[in-house]
Structure 1
Amino acid sequence: MLDFKKIIDIAYSSAIFVASLAANNNESWLFGAQGGYSYSDNAKYFFEWILDNHEQEQCFWVTKDKEIYKDLLSKELPVLYFYDIKNILSIAKAKYIVCTHSHTGNDIYKFINKSKVLITLWHGIPLKKMGKASQRKYLNYLNIKNTPDLFLVTSVKDAELFSELYHISIDKFFIGTYPRVNNLISRAEDNNTILYAPTFRDGMGQDYYDKNIFPSTNELENLNEMLVKFDYHFLIKMHPYVDASFPSLTNYSNINIIPAFEDVQDALSKASVLITDYSSIYFDYLNLDREIIFFIPDYEWYYQESNRGLLYNYEDVTPGYKAKSWNEIQNSLAEIFKGNKPSEFAESRSKILNMFFSKKNLNNDDLFNKCKSINYNN
């Protein structure tokens, strides 16, 4: 069956590509995330930073989502709606293409002319295993970029990993700091909240989460009672790919849920404690040097090679409390709330931070200057 949405996407991408062959590049920037359907992540924070710090640069967020388009317009941010024929030439002329979820430009449009500067900021340090991308060598004959001119990573180990996975020359990697991490550090505050942000389980639905991950009514009651006692709030941010609904929170005064597609950055910057599992969100959070609880009730299942599997020995790279039940989460929180002793994980947090962020001294200025130094036709 034909996918009409995909056909339209290819048609617009093709029109932009053809226009880009005839049009001269200008110095403008285009930014996008998650295939054009999100305003988030490193692209968002680099986009906003350039707008604030380099007013001479012409920048546009490109989206395929009408609601995002309307929202950014209402905030007076420069935005282009992808499926508008009037925007084809503006998109085609832009020199810098900045993505987070694609190393080939697909966050904005599918076929990137080789005269463009394609920048991949990526969306996180990998903890879970990833599959290799297929090589698209045929694109070399069509004047279409197959790999980025710059791929942002935070360590040499990630450069080597992505180089192998995506067939990208090692000299295309820039080791720096994610724009979203720079943003996280700059806005950090502690307001007595706990953020629970688990990742998704491939192919698992409501039954699996109810049985293995989600708390019972009794566990929620006990947790809420403790939160009230210590004056803390508990925020839940499910991964957008989780195919399950968290239990109703109507009766719990200090427990709330954040919409799955909402940007997690604000909640993360304010969290006193992060609870996660196999999500790479904790790598960013290490930069705040705060307590982490790793809730892994299904570790034996998740770690299997037949499932996702992990790139590292889990215990070696997860500096924090380990919990396999909601009662154990509550016990760990009680220790943290009482604050009777210095964190036993402070030293290991620093060690893992330095392992995965090897150039913390570099910032958005360094990334911007590197992007601007890239010549056409790289």
Structure 2
Amino acid sequence: MSKPKKLLTLLIKLFIFSCAQLVPKKKDLWVFGAWYGQRYSDNPKAFFEYINENQKHIKAVWITKDQAIVDQLRENGHIAYLDKGYSGLWMQLRAEFAFVCQSLHDDLYPACISKKTKVVNLWHGLPLKKIMYDVFGEQTVEKNIVGRLFDFLSPYERIRNDYLLATSTETQNTLSKAFRLPKDRVLITGFPRNDVFLKEKKNAIKSVYKCIYMPTFRGGIGTECDLFAQYGFDVEQIDGTLKENNIDLVLRMHPVNKPPEYLINAIKNSSHITIDSTADIFDSIADYDCMITDYSGGYFDFMLTGKPILFAPFDLEKYKQQERDLYYKYEDVTIGPYSYSWPELITRIIEVRSQQLSANYEVCYEQLTNLFHTPLEPEYRSFSEKLFYSLSH
């Protein structure tokens, strides 16, 4: 973008932000956005659907950058607008609450959101890896003259959260520190997306054991994440072994990553290895019998199922040095034995499929679940319901 266009954009945003301070907020108008405006997923989606189904007096509006999402939601009877369209801008200007899972800047049009609108960051998972200020510290852009000038001219770009969600006292402490937010603003309600684990499932007889592999992100947005060939992922051999043992293996990359092209081509003829690229894995995650991960906080969610979780820290030391450090000593918040290659991991999956879990595994599992999850009180039917009443009272 040329300098004149940048200046014009800045002036337009400043004008909108100034108007946002004057526009009265409409009670019970709530706006939602997620994943850079590109996905209908995660905690905002789950809470949006809860509000539409259970709190009819709330006008819930989904804001996105994707016209396909607008069309999809409208077909389902929901309200949705593009973030920079006239109606989308007006809804954001008038909103009483704004819900995001990355940041106000990423998921909505921040110039529209004044300080009179309460920003609730539902976030996108419990952190095993360090996040926010615990990674970057106080941004250096705020410590020099140019940075302070930018901050002054772009007040809508500042990090702002009025509330965050936690799942226990332990996670409340971590998130409070990471976001520089008082503990009383970090609400222990559980995550709306975890409502899927509370729903009763029909005990259908299953012949195939379903495993999902969910590694954490690496690199920047849109980069390939290759944790396969270099760690012994022989497609033909693994597919044959899985077939012999009636096991399906689903590979799910982190939303900011994509699988390597050679892997996509290699598994085209596989009968028991697939790649999941759906918008929201929480639409189906409760259907899996086992989860495999390395450092993804997704395993904290999966603990609520009580089903096996396997850990494959192929590159632990490299990851901590080149990507991000962890909040905990890895061995303290995960359960071994660990797998350091795909052949080891496939053997471990077969063992778990045969219910070969030690008593120590089950004890550790229960201890970690109690540490990271406060049980839902009987007066609430879901985590979403608890969140709603926490915000309403």
User: Could you tell me the TM-score, scaled by structure 2's length?
Assistant: 0.82
- Matches of 1:56 and 1:300 in 2, distance apart? 51
Query: What's the counterpart of residue 162 of structure 1?
Result: 175
Query: What's the counterpart of residue 372 of structure 1?
Result: 392
Opposite residue 44 of structure 2, the aligned amino acid is A
- Matches of 1:119 and 1:145 in 2, distance apart? 15
1:236 to 231, 244, 251: 251
Query: What's the counterpart of residue 299 of structure 2?
Result: 282
- Matches of 2:223 and 2:128 in 1, distance apart? 22
Opposite residue 273 of structure 1, the aligned amino acid is C
Relative to 1, partners in 2 of residues 1:29 and 1:267: Cα closer, same or farther, differing over 3 Å? same
Query: What's the counterpart of residue 36 of structure 2?
Result: 35
Kept in 2, the 8 Å contact 1:98–1:119? The answer is: yes
Query: What's the counterpart of residue 184 of structure 1?
Result: 197
Query: What's the secondary structure of 1:324's corresponding residue?
Result: coil
Relative to 1, partners in 2 of residues 1:232 and 1:244: Cα closer, same or farther, differing over 3 Å? closer
Per the TM alignment, residue 42 of structure 1 is displaced from its structure 2 partner at its CA by 0.6
Alignment of 1:246-261 (within 5 A): 246-247=263-264, 248-259=266-277
Kept in 1, the 8 Å contact 2:127–2:297? The answer is: yes
Relative to 1, partners in 2 of residues 1:38 and 1:342: Cα closer, same or farther, differing over 3 Å? same
Query: What's the counterpart of residue 353 of structure 2?
Result: 337
Query: What's the secondary structure of 1:345's corresponding residue?
Result: helix
Kept in 2, the 8 Å contact 1:43–1:100? The answer is: yes
Per the TM alignment, residue 369 of structure 1 is displaced from its structure 2 partner at its CA by 1.3
Relative to 1, partners in 2 of residues 1:207 and 1:150: Cα closer, same or farther, differing over 3 Å? closer
Opposite residue 356 of structure 1, the aligned amino acid is F
Query: What's the counterpart of residue 367 of structure 2?
Result: 351
Query: What's the counterpart of residue 110 of structure 1?
Result: 110
Opposite residue 167 of structure 2, the aligned amino acid is T
Relative to 1, partners in 2 of residues 1:88 and 1:339: Cα closer, same or farther, differing over 3 Å? closer
Query: What's the counterpart of residue 267 of structure 1?
Result: 284
Query: What's the counterpart of residue 238 of structure 2?
Result: 223
Opposite residue 108 of structure 1, the aligned amino acid is L
Opposite residue 289 of structure 2, the aligned amino acid is S
Query: What's the counterpart of residue 25 of structure 2?
Result: 25
Q: Relative to structure 2, which stretch is displaced further, 54-63 or 204-213?
A: 204-213
Relative to 1, partners in 2 of residues 1:297 and 1:5: Cα closer, same or farther, differing over 3 Å? farther
Query: What's the counterpart of residue 145 of structure 2?
Result: none
- Matches of 2:241 and 2:6 in 1, distance apart? 49
Per the TM alignment, residue 95 of structure 1 is displaced from its structure 2 partner at its CA by 0.6
- Matches of 1:48 and 1:5 in 2, distance apart? 38
Opposite residue 284 of structure 2, the aligned amino acid is A
Query: What's the secondary structure of 1:303's corresponding residue?
Result: helix
Query: What's the counterpart of residue 166 of structure 2?
Result: 153
Relative to 1, partners in 2 of residues 1:222 and 1:231: Cα closer, same or farther, differing over 3 Å? same
Query: What's the secondary structure of 1:118's corresponding residue?
Result: strand
Relative to 1, partners in 2 of residues 1:187 and 1:92: Cα closer, same or farther, differing over 3 Å? farther
Whether 1:73 aligns to 2:88 is no
- Matches of 2:301 and 2:201 in 1, distance apart? 12
- Matches of 2:157 and 2:226 in 1, distance apart? 43
Kept in 1, the 8 Å contact 2:17–2:156? The answer is: no
Per the TM alignment, residue 12 of structure 1 is displaced from its structure 2 partner at its CA by 7.1
Q: Write out per-residue CA displacement over residues 203-238 of structure 1, whole angstroms, 9 at most, x where no aligned residue.
A: 69769645534712xxx2232223223323221111
- Matches of 2:8 and 2:294 in 1, distance apart? 38
- Matches of 2:280 and 2:3 in 1, distance apart? 29
Opposite residue 322 of structure 1, the aligned amino acid is Y
Opposite residue 121 of structure 1, the aligned amino acid is L
Opposite residue 48 of structure 1, the aligned amino acid is E
Q: Write out per-residue CA displacement over residues 301-349 of structure 1, whole angstroms, 9 at most, x where no aligned residue.
A: 1233x53121111111112541111111121122122235666522211
Opposite residue 107 of structure 2, the aligned amino acid is D
Query: What's the secondary structure of 1:128's corresponding residue?
Result: coil
- Matches of 1:11 and 1:370 in 2, distance apart? 38
- Matches of 1:5 and 1:39 in 2, distance apart? 30
Per the TM alignment, residue 71 of structure 1 is displaced from its structure 2 partner at its CA by 1.9
Query: What's the counterpart of residue 319 of structure 1?
Result: 335
Query: What's the counterpart of residue 121 of structure 2?
Result: 120
- Matches of 2:6 and 2:269 in 1, distance apart? 43
Query: What's the counterpart of residue 376 of structure 1?
Result: none
Percent identity of the aligned residues? 27
Q: Write out per-residue CA displacement over residues 105-124 of structure 1, whole angstroms, 9 at most, x where no aligned residue.
A: 64212132111111111111
Per the TM alignment, residue 7 of structure 1 is displaced from its structure 2 partner at its CA by 8.2
Kept in 2, the 8 Å contact 1:188–1:269? The answer is: no
- Matches of 1:151 and 1:97 in 2, distance apart? 12
Opposite residue 269 of structure 2, the aligned amino acid is N
Per the TM alignment, residue 140 of structure 1 is displaced from its structure 2 partner at its CA by 12
Kept in 1, the 8 Å contact 2:14–2:154? The answer is: no
Relative to 1, partners in 2 of residues 1:369 and 1:43: Cα closer, same or farther, differing over 3 Å? same
Relative to 1, partners in 2 of residues 1:2 and 1:322: Cα closer, same or farther, differing over 3 Å? farther
Query: What's the counterpart of residue 309 of structure 2?
Result: 292
